[in-house]
A and B are shown apart, each in its own frame.
Chain A
Amino acid sequence: MDRNKITKWLKEPAKMANKYSLHAIYFCTGCGIIEIPPVITARWDAERFGVIPAATPRQANLFLITGYVSVKTLRAIIRTYEQMPEPKYTVGFGSCPINGGMYWDSYNTIKHLDKYIPIDGWIAGCMPRPEAIFIAVTHLWTLIDKEMANGYIRYRKNYESYRRNQELALGKLEWPPLYKASEEPQGNEQ
Protein backbone atom coordinates (compact mmCIF):
# COMPACT_ATOMS: atom_id res chain seq x y z
CA MET A 1 0.00 0.00 0.00
CA ASP A 2 2.38 2.68 -1.22
CA ARG A 3 -0.44 5.17 -1.85
CA ASN A 4 1.12 8.08 0.00
CA LYS A 5 4.66 7.80 -1.40
CA ILE A 6 4.89 11.08 -3.27
CA THR A 7 8.03 10.06 -5.16
CA LYS A 8 6.29 7.09 -6.78
CA TRP A 9 3.37 9.37 -7.69
CA LEU A 10 5.72 11.78 -9.43
CA LYS A 11 7.66 9.04 -11.21
CA GLU A 12 4.74 7.09 -12.72
CA PRO A 13 1.39 8.78 -11.96
CA ALA A 14 -0.49 6.63 -14.49
CA LYS A 15 0.45 3.37 -12.81
CA MET A 16 -0.23 4.67 -9.28
CA ALA A 17 -3.57 6.17 -10.34
CA ASN A 18 -4.56 2.89 -11.98
CA LYS A 19 -3.66 1.03 -8.84
CA TYR A 20 -5.57 3.18 -6.34
CA SER A 21 -8.68 3.96 -8.37
CA LEU A 22 -10.08 0.61 -9.56
CA HIS A 23 -13.74 1.12 -10.48
CA ALA A 24 -15.35 -2.31 -10.75
CA ILE A 25 -18.23 -2.65 -13.19
CA TYR A 26 -21.34 -3.75 -11.24
CA PHE A 27 -22.33 -6.66 -13.56
CA CYS A 28 -23.55 -9.85 -11.93
CA THR A 29 -22.22 -12.51 -14.27
CA GLY A 30 -22.64 -15.56 -12.01
CA CYS A 31 -23.34 -16.92 -8.54
CA GLY A 32 -20.47 -15.04 -6.87
CA ILE A 33 -22.10 -11.61 -6.99
CA ILE A 34 -23.58 -12.22 -3.56
CA GLU A 35 -20.07 -11.60 -2.19
CA ILE A 36 -19.82 -8.10 -3.68
CA PRO A 37 -22.31 -6.18 -1.48
CA PRO A 38 -20.52 -7.08 1.80
CA VAL A 39 -17.26 -6.03 0.13
CA ILE A 40 -18.67 -2.59 -0.66
CA THR A 41 -20.60 -1.89 2.52
CA ALA A 42 -19.58 -1.16 6.11
CA ARG A 43 -17.87 -4.35 7.31
CA TRP A 44 -15.25 -4.82 4.58
CA ASP A 45 -15.38 -1.38 2.89
CA ALA A 46 -13.57 -1.71 -0.47
CA GLU A 47 -13.71 2.09 -0.89
CA ARG A 48 -10.69 2.33 1.46
CA PHE A 49 -8.63 0.98 -1.45
CA GLY A 50 -10.43 3.14 -4.03
CA VAL A 51 -12.55 0.29 -5.37
CA ILE A 52 -16.15 1.44 -5.96
CA PRO A 53 -18.86 -0.08 -8.22
CA ALA A 54 -19.27 1.73 -11.54
CA ALA A 55 -22.62 1.82 -13.31
CA THR A 56 -21.48 1.30 -16.92
CA PRO A 57 -18.46 -0.35 -18.59
CA ARG A 58 -17.36 3.03 -19.97
CA GLN A 59 -16.60 4.29 -16.47
CA ALA A 60 -14.93 1.11 -15.18
CA ASN A 61 -11.45 -0.40 -15.44
CA LEU A 62 -11.95 -3.59 -13.35
CA PHE A 63 -14.26 -6.45 -14.44
CA LEU A 64 -15.09 -9.09 -11.82
CA ILE A 65 -16.27 -12.34 -13.41
CA THR A 66 -18.11 -13.76 -10.40
CA GLY A 67 -18.71 -17.50 -10.69
CA TYR A 68 -19.61 -19.83 -13.59
CA VAL A 69 -20.15 -18.38 -17.05
CA SER A 70 -23.15 -19.71 -18.98
CA VAL A 71 -23.08 -19.62 -22.78
CA LYS A 72 -25.71 -16.89 -22.92
CA THR A 73 -23.87 -14.71 -20.33
CA LEU A 74 -20.61 -15.04 -22.28
CA ARG A 75 -22.16 -12.96 -25.08
CA ALA A 76 -22.91 -10.12 -22.61
CA ILE A 77 -19.48 -10.49 -20.94
CA ILE A 78 -17.61 -10.16 -24.22
CA ARG A 79 -19.72 -7.17 -25.21
CA THR A 80 -19.16 -5.46 -21.84
CA TYR A 81 -15.43 -6.22 -21.87
CA GLU A 82 -15.08 -4.69 -25.33
CA GLN A 83 -16.97 -1.56 -24.22
CA MET A 84 -14.58 -0.89 -21.36
CA PRO A 85 -11.89 1.73 -22.05
CA GLU A 86 -8.32 0.59 -22.54
CA PRO A 87 -6.32 -0.06 -19.39
CA LYS A 88 -8.78 -2.69 -18.08
CA TYR A 89 -8.26 -5.64 -15.80
CA THR A 90 -10.37 -8.75 -15.19
CA VAL A 91 -10.48 -11.01 -12.17
CA GLY A 92 -12.10 -14.47 -12.22
CA PHE A 93 -13.85 -15.73 -9.09
CA GLY A 94 -13.65 -19.38 -8.09
CA SER A 95 -12.74 -22.42 -10.23
CA CYS A 96 -15.69 -22.31 -12.67
CA PRO A 97 -14.18 -19.67 -15.01
CA ILE A 98 -10.79 -21.50 -14.86
CA ASN A 99 -11.81 -24.91 -16.18
CA GLY A 100 -15.57 -25.19 -15.72
CA GLY A 101 -15.29 -26.27 -12.06
CA MET A 102 -18.12 -28.58 -10.99
CA TYR A 103 -19.93 -27.80 -14.26
CA TRP A 104 -17.01 -29.32 -16.20
CA ASP A 105 -19.29 -31.60 -18.22
CA SER A 106 -22.32 -29.32 -18.52
CA TYR A 107 -23.47 -28.53 -22.09
CA ASN A 108 -24.46 -24.98 -21.14
CA THR A 109 -21.40 -23.49 -19.37
CA ILE A 110 -18.14 -22.09 -20.72
CA LYS A 111 -15.17 -24.14 -19.56
CA HIS A 112 -11.99 -22.08 -20.05
CA LEU A 113 -12.98 -18.42 -19.93
CA ASP A 114 -9.49 -17.22 -20.85
CA LYS A 115 -9.99 -18.70 -24.33
CA TYR A 116 -12.53 -15.92 -24.97
CA ILE A 117 -11.41 -12.91 -22.94
CA PRO A 118 -8.04 -12.34 -21.19
CA ILE A 119 -8.11 -12.75 -17.41
CA ASP A 120 -5.52 -11.02 -15.21
CA GLY A 121 -6.20 -12.54 -11.84
CA TRP A 122 -7.91 -15.61 -10.34
CA ILE A 123 -9.31 -16.07 -6.84
CA ALA A 124 -9.68 -19.55 -5.42
CA GLY A 125 -12.80 -20.51 -3.50
CA CYS A 126 -16.30 -21.51 -4.43
CA MET A 127 -17.37 -18.31 -3.76
CA PRO A 128 -14.32 -16.48 -2.35
CA ARG A 129 -14.95 -14.51 0.84
CA PRO A 130 -14.43 -10.71 0.87
CA GLU A 131 -10.93 -11.12 2.32
CA ALA A 132 -10.01 -13.18 -0.75
CA ILE A 133 -11.33 -10.36 -2.97
CA PHE A 134 -9.02 -7.92 -1.19
CA ILE A 135 -6.12 -10.33 -1.71
CA ALA A 136 -6.99 -10.25 -5.42
CA VAL A 137 -7.00 -6.43 -5.39
CA THR A 138 -3.62 -6.23 -3.70
CA HIS A 139 -2.31 -8.94 -6.07
CA LEU A 140 -3.57 -6.80 -8.95
CA TRP A 141 -1.57 -3.87 -7.55
CA THR A 142 1.66 -5.86 -7.67
CA LEU A 143 0.79 -7.00 -11.21
CA ILE A 144 0.20 -3.41 -12.28
CA ASP A 145 3.48 -2.43 -10.63
CA LYS A 146 5.41 -5.07 -12.51
CA GLU A 147 3.41 -4.26 -15.67
CA MET A 148 2.27 -7.86 -15.89
CA ALA A 149 -1.46 -7.00 -15.74
CA ASN A 150 -1.48 -6.75 -19.53
CA GLY A 151 -4.67 -8.68 -20.31
CA TYR A 152 -5.96 -5.88 -22.56
CA ILE A 153 -2.69 -5.82 -24.51
CA ARG A 154 -2.86 -9.58 -25.07
CA TYR A 155 -6.46 -9.11 -26.19
CA ARG A 156 -5.44 -6.49 -28.72
CA LYS A 157 -2.43 -8.52 -29.99
CA ASN A 158 -4.18 -11.86 -30.44
CA TYR A 159 -7.60 -10.40 -31.25
CA GLU A 160 -8.09 -12.66 -34.28
CA SER A 161 -7.74 -15.88 -32.26
CA TYR A 162 -9.92 -14.50 -29.45
CA ARG A 163 -12.56 -13.53 -31.99
CA ARG A 164 -12.34 -16.95 -33.67
CA ASN A 165 -12.82 -18.72 -30.34
CA GLN A 166 -15.80 -16.49 -29.53
CA GLU A 167 -17.42 -17.32 -32.84
CA LEU A 168 -16.74 -21.00 -32.31
CA ALA A 169 -18.46 -20.90 -28.92
CA LEU A 170 -21.32 -18.51 -29.71
CA GLY A 171 -21.92 -18.81 -33.42
CA LYS A 172 -22.40 -15.54 -35.35
CA LEU A 173 -21.70 -12.36 -33.27
CA GLU A 174 -23.90 -9.30 -33.94
CA TRP A 175 -21.25 -6.64 -33.17
CA PRO A 176 -18.35 -5.87 -35.55
CA PRO A 177 -14.78 -6.85 -34.50
CA LEU A 178 -13.26 -4.39 -32.04
CA TYR A 179 -9.86 -4.09 -33.73
CA LYS A 180 -9.64 -4.17 -37.54
CA ALA A 181 -7.19 -6.80 -38.80
CA SER A 182 -5.12 -4.09 -40.51
CA GLU A 183 -4.68 -1.99 -37.32
CA GLU A 184 -1.42 -3.20 -35.83
CA PRO A 185 -1.32 -2.68 -32.06
CA GLN A 186 0.33 0.63 -31.00
CA GLY A 187 2.94 -0.75 -28.68
CA ASN A 188 2.70 -1.53 -25.02
CA GLU A 189 1.87 1.86 -23.50
CA GLN A 190 0.68 1.40 -19.95
Chain B
Amino acid sequence: MVAKIIQLILSPIIALVVGVFFLGLARKFMARIHWRYGPPIIQPVIDMIRLFYQKSVSHGRMFDLGIVLSLAGSIVVVLFLPLGGTAPLSGSGGMLVILYIMLLAPLGMAISGGQGANPNISIGISRKLILALGYEVPLLLILLAVMTHYKTISIVQVVNAQQSTTWSIISLPLFLSGLSYFLILPAILGIRPFDVSTAPQEISSGLMVEYGGKYLAMVTIEHAFVLFISIALFVNLFLGGAANPVTFLVKMLMVFMLGLCINAVFPRLRIKQAIKYLWKWPTLLAFLGLIVSLVIRS
Protein backbone atom coordinates (compact mmCIF):
# COMPACT_ATOMS: atom_id res chain seq x y z
CA MET B 1 0.00 0.00 0.00
CA VAL B 2 2.83 2.35 0.91
CA ALA B 3 4.48 1.65 -2.47
CA LYS B 4 1.25 2.66 -4.18
CA ILE B 5 1.10 5.95 -2.25
CA ILE B 6 4.70 6.69 -3.17
CA GLN B 7 3.88 5.98 -6.80
CA LEU B 8 0.80 8.19 -6.52
CA ILE B 9 2.91 11.10 -5.30
CA LEU B 10 5.92 10.39 -7.50
CA SER B 11 4.37 10.03 -10.95
CA PRO B 12 2.88 13.57 -11.23
CA ILE B 13 6.20 15.01 -10.06
CA ILE B 14 8.10 12.97 -12.65
CA ALA B 15 5.57 14.07 -15.27
CA LEU B 16 6.00 17.74 -14.32
CA VAL B 17 9.79 17.62 -14.29
CA VAL B 18 10.02 15.71 -17.57
CA GLY B 19 7.35 17.88 -19.20
CA VAL B 20 9.07 21.13 -18.26
CA PHE B 21 12.41 19.67 -19.34
CA PHE B 22 10.80 18.81 -22.70
CA LEU B 23 9.51 22.41 -23.03
CA GLY B 24 12.97 23.82 -22.38
CA LEU B 25 14.54 21.27 -24.71
CA ALA B 26 12.02 22.16 -27.43
CA ARG B 27 12.96 25.86 -27.29
CA LYS B 28 16.69 25.05 -27.29
CA PHE B 29 16.27 22.55 -30.17
CA MET B 30 14.22 25.02 -32.20
CA ALA B 31 16.82 27.72 -31.59
CA ARG B 32 19.62 25.43 -32.76
CA ILE B 33 17.65 24.69 -35.93
CA HIS B 34 17.22 28.46 -36.47
CA TRP B 35 21.03 28.68 -36.16
CA ARG B 36 20.95 30.67 -32.94
CA TYR B 37 21.99 29.99 -29.33
CA GLY B 38 18.54 29.88 -27.76
CA PRO B 39 17.61 30.19 -24.11
CA PRO B 40 19.03 27.94 -21.35
CA ILE B 41 17.15 24.66 -20.83
CA ILE B 42 15.66 25.98 -17.59
CA GLN B 43 14.14 29.05 -19.29
CA PRO B 44 10.54 27.75 -18.84
CA VAL B 45 11.26 27.50 -15.09
CA ILE B 46 12.46 31.13 -15.04
CA ASP B 47 9.38 32.19 -17.01
CA MET B 48 7.11 30.41 -14.55
CA ILE B 49 8.77 31.94 -11.48
CA ARG B 50 8.36 35.40 -13.03
CA LEU B 51 4.75 34.67 -13.98
CA PHE B 52 3.91 33.54 -10.47
CA TYR B 53 5.26 36.80 -9.03
CA GLN B 54 3.48 38.91 -11.67
CA LYS B 55 0.00 40.27 -10.93
CA SER B 56 -2.74 39.27 -13.36
CA VAL B 57 -6.31 39.91 -14.39
CA SER B 58 -9.39 37.73 -13.74
CA HIS B 59 -12.72 37.88 -15.57
CA GLY B 60 -14.77 36.05 -12.96
CA ARG B 61 -14.81 32.98 -10.75
CA MET B 62 -15.27 30.51 -13.62
CA PHE B 63 -12.23 32.10 -15.29
CA ASP B 64 -10.12 30.83 -12.36
CA LEU B 65 -11.91 27.53 -11.68
CA GLY B 66 -11.66 26.45 -15.31
CA ILE B 67 -7.86 26.72 -15.23
CA VAL B 68 -7.69 24.80 -11.95
CA LEU B 69 -9.99 22.10 -13.35
CA SER B 70 -7.94 21.73 -16.52
CA LEU B 71 -4.68 21.33 -14.59
CA ALA B 72 -6.36 18.84 -12.23
CA GLY B 73 -7.59 16.88 -15.26
CA SER B 74 -4.08 16.64 -16.69
CA ILE B 75 -2.58 15.56 -13.35
CA VAL B 76 -5.21 12.82 -12.99
CA VAL B 77 -4.49 11.42 -16.46
CA VAL B 78 -0.84 11.02 -15.49
CA LEU B 79 -1.91 8.80 -12.56
CA PHE B 80 -3.59 6.39 -14.99
CA LEU B 81 -0.59 5.94 -17.26
CA PRO B 82 1.98 3.25 -16.50
CA LEU B 83 5.40 4.99 -16.29
CA GLY B 84 7.81 2.14 -16.76
CA GLY B 85 6.71 -0.42 -14.21
CA THR B 86 4.63 1.81 -11.97
CA ALA B 87 0.92 2.25 -12.70
CA PRO B 88 -0.75 3.77 -9.64
CA LEU B 89 -4.40 4.01 -10.68
CA SER B 90 -4.56 2.07 -13.90
CA GLY B 91 -6.58 -0.65 -12.21
CA SER B 92 -9.74 1.46 -12.01
CA GLY B 93 -10.90 1.85 -15.57
CA GLY B 94 -8.29 1.19 -18.24
CA MET B 95 -7.93 3.01 -21.55
CA LEU B 96 -11.52 4.23 -21.79
CA VAL B 97 -11.09 6.23 -18.59
CA ILE B 98 -7.83 7.72 -19.89
CA LEU B 99 -9.57 8.70 -23.12
CA TYR B 100 -12.40 10.43 -21.23
CA ILE B 101 -10.31 12.09 -18.55
CA MET B 102 -8.20 13.63 -21.31
CA LEU B 103 -11.44 15.55 -22.00
CA LEU B 104 -11.30 17.40 -18.68
CA ALA B 105 -8.30 19.56 -19.58
CA PRO B 106 -9.53 21.10 -22.87
CA LEU B 107 -13.07 21.45 -21.46
CA GLY B 108 -11.86 23.28 -18.34
CA MET B 109 -9.65 25.56 -20.43
CA ALA B 110 -12.50 26.21 -22.89
CA ILE B 111 -14.92 27.20 -20.13
CA SER B 112 -12.44 29.50 -18.39
CA GLY B 113 -11.42 31.02 -21.73
CA GLY B 114 -15.06 31.49 -22.66
CA GLN B 115 -15.58 33.80 -19.72
CA GLY B 116 -12.66 35.89 -20.92
CA ALA B 117 -15.27 37.51 -23.19
CA ASN B 118 -12.85 37.99 -26.11
CA PRO B 119 -13.60 36.81 -29.66
CA ASN B 120 -9.96 35.82 -30.13
CA ILE B 121 -10.44 33.31 -27.34
CA SER B 122 -13.74 32.04 -28.78
CA ILE B 123 -12.14 31.54 -32.20
CA GLY B 124 -9.19 29.80 -30.52
CA ILE B 125 -11.49 27.47 -28.62
CA SER B 126 -13.64 26.63 -31.65
CA ARG B 127 -10.46 25.84 -33.61
CA LYS B 128 -9.12 23.77 -30.71
CA LEU B 129 -12.34 21.71 -30.55
CA ILE B 130 -12.45 21.25 -34.33
CA LEU B 131 -8.81 20.14 -34.28
CA ALA B 132 -9.64 17.79 -31.38
CA LEU B 133 -12.45 16.29 -33.45
CA GLY B 134 -9.99 16.08 -36.33
CA TYR B 135 -7.36 14.01 -34.54
CA GLU B 136 -9.90 12.03 -32.47
CA VAL B 137 -11.12 10.18 -35.58
CA PRO B 138 -7.76 8.46 -36.25
CA LEU B 139 -6.88 8.29 -32.53
CA LEU B 140 -10.05 6.34 -31.73
CA LEU B 141 -9.41 3.94 -34.59
CA ILE B 142 -5.86 3.41 -33.30
CA LEU B 143 -6.95 2.77 -29.71
CA LEU B 144 -9.69 0.39 -30.89
CA ALA B 145 -7.16 -1.46 -33.03
CA VAL B 146 -4.84 -1.87 -30.04
CA MET B 147 -7.69 -2.95 -27.77
CA THR B 148 -9.10 -5.48 -30.23
CA HIS B 149 -5.61 -6.80 -30.98
CA TYR B 150 -4.79 -7.45 -27.32
CA LYS B 151 -8.42 -8.23 -26.41
CA THR B 152 -8.31 -6.03 -23.30
CA ILE B 153 -9.18 -2.52 -22.27
CA SER B 154 -6.57 -2.18 -19.53
CA ILE B 155 -3.34 -0.49 -20.58
CA VAL B 156 -1.24 -2.44 -18.09
CA GLN B 157 -2.14 -5.70 -19.81
CA VAL B 158 -1.19 -4.13 -23.16
CA VAL B 159 2.21 -3.19 -21.74
CA ASN B 160 2.74 -6.64 -20.19
CA ALA B 161 1.74 -8.29 -23.47
CA GLN B 162 4.36 -6.24 -25.27
CA GLN B 163 6.97 -7.06 -22.65
CA SER B 164 6.56 -10.75 -23.43
CA THR B 165 6.20 -10.51 -27.20
CA THR B 166 7.75 -7.80 -29.43
CA TRP B 167 6.89 -4.09 -29.46
CA SER B 168 3.48 -3.67 -30.98
CA ILE B 169 4.79 -1.16 -33.53
CA ILE B 170 6.81 -3.98 -35.05
CA SER B 171 3.98 -6.56 -34.99
CA LEU B 172 2.11 -6.61 -38.30
CA PRO B 173 -1.36 -5.19 -37.56
CA LEU B 174 -0.33 -2.38 -35.25
CA PHE B 175 2.48 -1.07 -37.42
CA LEU B 176 -0.10 0.87 -39.44
CA SER B 177 -1.74 2.17 -36.27
CA GLY B 178 1.61 3.16 -34.78
CA LEU B 179 2.56 5.03 -37.94
CA SER B 180 -0.76 6.85 -38.03
CA TYR B 181 -0.40 7.73 -34.31
CA PHE B 182 2.97 9.29 -35.07
CA LEU B 183 1.44 11.25 -37.96
CA ILE B 184 -1.17 12.81 -35.65
CA LEU B 185 1.25 13.31 -32.70
CA PRO B 186 1.89 17.01 -33.57
CA ALA B 187 -1.87 17.57 -33.63
CA ILE B 188 -2.33 16.00 -30.20
CA LEU B 189 0.57 18.00 -28.77
CA GLY B 190 -0.68 21.18 -30.44
CA ILE B 191 2.79 22.04 -31.79
CA ARG B 192 3.82 23.90 -34.94
CA PRO B 193 2.04 22.50 -37.95
CA PHE B 194 -1.17 22.20 -35.91
CA ASP B 195 -0.93 25.04 -33.34
CA VAL B 196 -3.93 26.71 -35.00
CA SER B 197 -5.66 27.18 -31.66
CA THR B 198 -2.87 29.25 -30.06
CA ALA B 199 -1.58 31.05 -33.16
CA PRO B 200 0.15 34.19 -31.89
CA GLN B 201 -0.05 36.06 -35.18
CA GLU B 202 -3.57 35.28 -36.40
CA ILE B 203 -5.67 35.23 -33.24
CA SER B 204 -3.06 36.70 -30.82
CA SER B 205 -2.43 33.34 -29.10
CA GLY B 206 -6.08 32.29 -29.14
CA LEU B 207 -6.87 30.71 -25.78
CA MET B 208 -4.20 32.59 -23.85
CA VAL B 209 -5.20 36.12 -24.83
CA GLU B 210 -6.48 37.08 -21.37
CA TYR B 211 -4.15 34.86 -19.32
CA GLY B 212 -1.71 37.01 -17.36
CA GLY B 213 0.69 36.05 -14.59
CA LYS B 214 -0.26 32.89 -12.69
CA TYR B 215 -2.85 31.88 -15.30
CA LEU B 216 -0.15 31.71 -17.99
CA ALA B 217 2.09 29.73 -15.61
CA MET B 218 -0.74 27.24 -14.98
CA VAL B 219 -1.35 26.94 -18.73
CA THR B 220 2.34 26.22 -19.42
CA ILE B 221 2.37 23.58 -16.66
CA GLU B 222 -0.78 22.05 -18.15
CA HIS B 223 0.85 22.11 -21.59
CA ALA B 224 3.88 20.31 -20.11
CA PHE B 225 1.58 17.64 -18.69
CA VAL B 226 -0.22 17.22 -22.04
CA LEU B 227 3.17 16.87 -23.72
CA PHE B 228 4.14 14.15 -21.25
CA ILE B 229 0.81 12.32 -21.45
CA SER B 230 0.58 12.13 -25.23
CA ILE B 231 4.12 10.82 -25.63
CA ALA B 232 3.80 8.43 -22.68
CA LEU B 233 0.61 7.04 -24.24
CA PHE B 234 2.45 6.49 -27.51
CA VAL B 235 5.37 4.78 -25.79
CA ASN B 236 3.07 2.58 -23.70
CA LEU B 237 0.91 1.51 -26.59
CA PHE B 238 3.47 1.02 -29.31
CA LEU B 239 7.02 0.97 -27.92
CA GLY B 240 6.42 -1.55 -25.20
CA GLY B 241 6.61 0.81 -22.17
CA ALA B 242 9.83 -0.15 -20.38
CA ALA B 243 10.19 -2.08 -17.12
CA ASN B 244 12.06 0.71 -15.32
CA PRO B 245 11.43 4.45 -15.63
CA VAL B 246 14.85 5.27 -17.12
CA THR B 247 14.41 3.32 -20.36
CA PHE B 248 10.86 4.65 -20.46
CA LEU B 249 12.11 8.26 -20.37
CA VAL B 250 14.77 7.50 -22.99
CA LYS B 251 12.10 6.19 -25.35
CA MET B 252 9.96 9.26 -24.68
CA LEU B 253 12.91 11.55 -25.42
CA MET B 254 13.49 9.77 -28.73
CA VAL B 255 9.87 10.11 -29.78
CA PHE B 256 9.79 13.76 -28.69
CA MET B 257 12.90 14.64 -30.68
CA LEU B 258 11.31 13.09 -33.80
CA GLY B 259 8.13 15.08 -33.17
CA LEU B 260 10.21 18.26 -32.75
CA CYS B 261 11.85 17.76 -36.11
CA ILE B 262 8.42 17.92 -37.72
CA ASN B 263 7.55 20.89 -35.57
CA ALA B 264 10.64 22.87 -36.51
CA VAL B 265 10.32 22.84 -40.26
CA PHE B 266 6.62 23.12 -41.00
CA PRO B 267 4.62 26.36 -41.32
CA ARG B 268 1.28 26.54 -39.50
CA LEU B 269 -1.57 24.93 -41.41
CA ARG B 270 -4.96 26.59 -41.77
CA ILE B 271 -7.61 24.80 -39.73
CA LYS B 272 -9.34 23.44 -42.83
CA GLN B 273 -6.12 22.08 -44.29
CA ALA B 274 -5.31 20.50 -40.92
CA ILE B 275 -8.66 18.71 -40.82
CA LYS B 276 -8.36 17.59 -44.45
CA TYR B 277 -4.91 16.17 -43.71
CA LEU B 278 -5.97 14.52 -40.45
CA TRP B 279 -8.98 12.86 -42.05
CA LYS B 280 -7.07 11.63 -45.06
CA TRP B 281 -3.81 9.73 -44.50
CA PRO B 282 -3.73 9.02 -40.76
CA THR B 283 -7.38 7.93 -40.77
CA LEU B 284 -6.77 5.64 -43.74
CA LEU B 285 -3.78 4.00 -42.02
CA ALA B 286 -5.65 3.65 -38.72
CA PHE B 287 -8.66 2.16 -40.54
CA LEU B 288 -6.44 -0.40 -42.30
CA GLY B 289 -4.76 -1.19 -38.96
CA LEU B 290 -8.14 -1.84 -37.39
CA ILE B 291 -9.30 -4.07 -40.27
CA VAL B 292 -6.06 -6.09 -40.19
CA SER B 293 -6.23 -6.55 -36.41
CA LEU B 294 -9.89 -7.61 -36.71
CA VAL B 295 -9.06 -10.16 -39.39
CA ILE B 296 -6.18 -11.56 -37.34
CA ARG B 297 -8.34 -11.71 -34.24
CA SER B 298 -11.23 -13.68 -35.77
Question: Which residue numbers of A lie inside 8 Å of B, CB to CB?
Answer: 3-4, 13-14, 16-18, 20-21, 23, 26, 41-43, 45, 47-48, 50, 53, 55-56, 58-59, 61, 83, 85-87
Q: How many residues of B contact A (CB 8 A)?
A: 31
Q: CA of A59 to CA of B217 in the docked complex: distance in angstroms?
A: 10
| Contacting residues, chain B, for A47 (C-beta < 8 A) | 27, 31, 36-39, 43
Q: CA of A55 to CA of B37 in the docked complex: distance in angstroms?
A: 22
Q: Is B166 an interface residue (CB 8 A)?
A: no
B127-170 Cβ-contact flags toward A at 8 Å (1 or 0): 00000000000000000000000000000000000000000000
Q: Is B54 an interface residue (CB 8 A)?
A: yes
Q: Are A13 and B209 in contact (CB under 8 A)?
A: no
Name which residue of chain A comes closest to B34, CB basis.
Answer: A42
Name which residue of chain A comes closest to B47, CB basis.
Answer: A21
Name which residue of chain B comes closest to A58, CB basis.
Answer: B212
Q: Is B49 an interface residue (CB 8 A)?
A: yes
| Contacting residues, chain B, for A43 (C-beta < 8 A) | 36
Q: Are B43 and A50 in contact (CB under 8 A)?
A: yes
Q: Are B53 and A85 in contact (CB under 8 A)?
A: no
A17 → chain B, closest Cβ, in Å? 4
Q: Is B75 an interface residue (CB 8 A)?
A: no
Q: CA of A16 to CA of B211 in the docked complex: distance in angstroms?
A: 22
Q: Are A55 and B54 in contact (CB under 8 A)?
A: no
Which of B35, B37, B39, B211 sits near A59, CB closer than 8 Å?
A: B211
A138 → chain B, closest Cβ, in Å? 16
Q: Count chain A CB atoms within 10 A of each CB in B34, B50, B204 and give the residue with the most.
A: B50
Interchain Cβ contacts under 8 Å between A and B, 18 examples: A16-B49, A17-B46, A17-B49, A45-B36, A47-B31, A47-B37, A50-B39, A50-B46, A55-B208, A55-B209, A56-B205, A56-B209, A58-B211, A59-B212, A83-B57, A85-B54, A85-B212, A86-B55
